[in-house]
Amino acid sequence: MTGPNTIDPAWLPDAALRGIGSRRVTVEGEGPLVDTLRAEVAHAQDKFATSPTDGHVAFRLDAEADTGPEGFTLTRSGGRTTVTAAATAGLLYGYFQVVRLGAAAFTDAPEQTHRPALSRRMLNHWDNIDVHPVMGQVERGYAGGSLFWDDGRPRGDLGRVRAYARLLAACGINAVCVNNVNVHATEARLLTDRIDEVAAIATEFRAYGISVHLSVSFAAPVVLGGLSTADPLDDGVRDWWRTAADRVYAHIPDFGGFVVKADSEGQPGPFAYGRSHADGANLIADALAPHGGTVHWRAFVYNHTQDWRDRSTDRARAAYDHFAPLDGRFRDNAVLQVKHGPMDFQTREPVSPVIGALPRTRVAVELQATQEYTGQQRHVCALAPMWAEVLGFRPEGDDGPTVGGLAGSGGLVAVSNAGADPYWTRHPLAQFNLYAFGRLAWQPDAKPQQLLDEWIELTFDPEETIDPERLRSGLHAVLRDSWATYEKYTAPLGVGFMVQPGHHYGPSVDGYEYSPWGTYHFADRDGIGVDRSRATGTGYAAQYSKPWSQTYETPESCPDELLLFFHHVPYGHVLHSGTTVIQHIYDTHFEGVEEAEAAQRVWASLADLVAPARHARVAELYEEQLNSAREWRDHVNSYFLRKSGIPDAGGRRIH
């Protein structure tokens, strides 16, 4: 049971270790990760030493094994389970695979070799050292304070960071950036006189094969070094970054690299000096290169002081316009980090055309595990189906590579949803988003329902409940379609936003409509949506390769779920589903609330199967979710009834 002063074990409760803890285990090899593996085995056996089971589990290194640096081969035959790997990281990942399989790990099965599809599987923490007056300690953090800092100082006990590293390694994550991409004055000093704090955090992550990265300010030579310029072509600036990188690696020899947000939302960048983003990224890449480090250069660059009256400017176009012309000009150790959609982690967006437009550049795809626009970890919204849809998208059509394949050169990144809350993610069911991200980063074509089954089996021990099948069925009913439910009662048909400005929680249909942020829906008395066609709109649709540029070009060929992202259409426009836009808005908003109410009832029915504290936390959050869902329904339906003058065909009450 998890109470207010304990830490939830998430998907690594002791019960999940029963299989390996009750068997004879041998571990061969030396090194820090093997030491971690031996400690894991000792912990498991300490818990289950009184209930021995026949069988033997062996972990062994084989330099000739064809597994790569993190892969492993799992052999199960005749009561013997063997994990073989060419490197120690593979042994540790193999251990967690055995845990994940549970009892099935000890039954005969064909030999399987597991290798991560992506070499970089990374979380970005948006943590501040100080509590920011607007964004708090963790920007877009919905799970309490930072795991790393408290009240402006490093946490004295980093045991929880070690526990966090264990959870991350168990789902396949191998890199963490520990501070906010919006680098404030205090956080900037992590690069220099506070680097010891990063080194202490790196020690905890290192035990589980996770490299630490640091967000840095492009203006660091000015802010920290006293230089008069941060021009990336200035020799003094280049020397400053080389010295800074040398200092970091002297403290953290296995440091991963830097993350940079530049020329974005007020952050400094190379544009101030008439230089390109390739110039800026290469400056830092060159400083990291002697140490084997990587710079992740974020492509989230757009005009955030847009004139809402000017319909020729389109925020969705910005990343492509800035970065597509630079393809091939970035260093080999520079990774362009691209948000999966062209706007900002909305409930529904098309896949960013930038991902398929840079064949000569390493690209990392960025997702958002923290639910900024998807309920802020107060609403149940399992994001694995969205992410799987993105990773399976083929920018060049059916014969081309998937987004998951294109990310092979740069990796998959997610904004973390973890914090100091006892449940890690505030909403206990939001743990699934963190778990699913790691597993999809390892295997981008994994099926969301498979991952949900894995998470349920690990998190909720089937041997400790009176009715495991009812529990599994109930959790599937609550989580499986929760993204679709959330989409139904919020912004419709891909139009996005419609949220309260600033904190982004709850409905405000016109909240950003007359703002400088470029997030418009253009609803008027005749229709709604943004014309992004080549023929009559902003031309954004033409940034895609065929067939998608053709698919998105007209309302007739555009998928319903993205219609209002690409087109301004009348309220009476008939969707492919056969209903009109206005009736779709009404219907889905009523349906979304009804589905959330049904999910709440299912959760209530599981009270006898779930630990009381966990059940109570989720039940409390369901009350908030339903209040918010009803507010969304009533705001959106009333807005469009008044705007269009078209009544609901179902005669339901709209205010």
Please enumerate in sequence order all residues whose Cβ is within 8 A of that of 509, keeping only pairs 6 or more positions apart, or say none. Answer: 498, 521, 523, 635, 636, 639
Residue 396 a catalytic site member: no
How far is 73 from 491, CA to CA, in rounded Å?
46
How far is 339 from 195, CA to CA, in rounded Å?
28
Query: Which residue do the tokens 């807005």 mark?
Result: 639
Catalytic option among 187, 263, 344, 457 = 344
**CB environment 306-323: b (16+ within 10 A), e (fewer):** bebeeeeebbbbbbbebb
How far is 443 from 21, CA to CA, in rounded Å?
27
Query: Which residue do the tokens 């012309």 mark?
Result: 325
Of 485, 506, 491, give the one whose Cα is nearest residue 591.
Answer: 485
Beta partners for 411?
364
| SS3 assignment for 589-654 | HHHHHHHHHHHHHHHHHCCCCCCHHHHHHHHHHHHHHHHHHHHHHHHHHHHHHHHHCCCCCCCCCC
> How do residues 603-637 score in pLDDT, each as one tens digit?
999 999 999 999 999 999 999 999 999 999 999 99
Please enumerate in sequence order all residues whose Cβ is within 8 A of that of 429, keeping only pairs 6 or more positions apart, or say none. Answer: 380, 382, 478, 479, 618
> What angle, rounded to 10 degrees, do the helices at 235-251 and 277-288 form?
40
Residue 372 a catalytic site member: yes
Catalytic option among 193, 265, 445, 623 = 265
Catalytic option among 8, 197, 314, 372 = 372
The pair of structure tokens assigned to 175 is 């890199």
- The torsion angles phi and psi of 103, rounded to 5 degrees, stand at -60, -30
If you average pLDDT over every residue of the chain, what do you get? 96
* Residue positions counted in the chain: 655
- The torsion angles phi and psi of 292, rounded to 5 degrees, stand at 80, 20
- pLDDT for position 1: 41
> How do residues 139-190 score in pLDDT, each as one tens digit?
999 999 999 999 999 999 999 999 999 999 999 999 999 999 999 999 999 9
Say how many C-beta atoms besides its own lie within 10 A of residue 133's C-beta.
6
Of 215, 209, 255, 261, give the one whose Cα is nearest residue 438.
Answer: 209
How far is 177 from 616, CA to CA, in rounded Å?
33
List the Cα angle 594/595/596 in 5-degree steps.
Answer: 90
In terms of DSSP H, where are the helices of 466-611? Answer: 468-479, 482-488, 548-551, 563-566, 581-605
Domains delineated in the chain: 14-114 (3.30.379.10), 121-459 (3.20.20.80), 486-530+568-644 (3.90.1330.10)
Of 318, 386, 384, 380, give the one whose Cα is nearest residue 350.
Answer: 386
Of 391, 300, 382, give the one whose Cα is nearest residue 344.
Answer: 300
**Given phi > 0 = left and psi -120 to 50 = alpha, else beta, which region is 243?**
alpha
- pLDDT for position 5: 56
How far is 129 from 188, CA to CA, in rounded Å?
10
Query: Which residue do the tokens 């107060």 mark?
Result: 378
DSSP 273: G
Residue 239 a catalytic site member: no
- pLDDT for position 4: 45
- Low-confidence stretches of the chain (pLDDT < 70) are 1-5
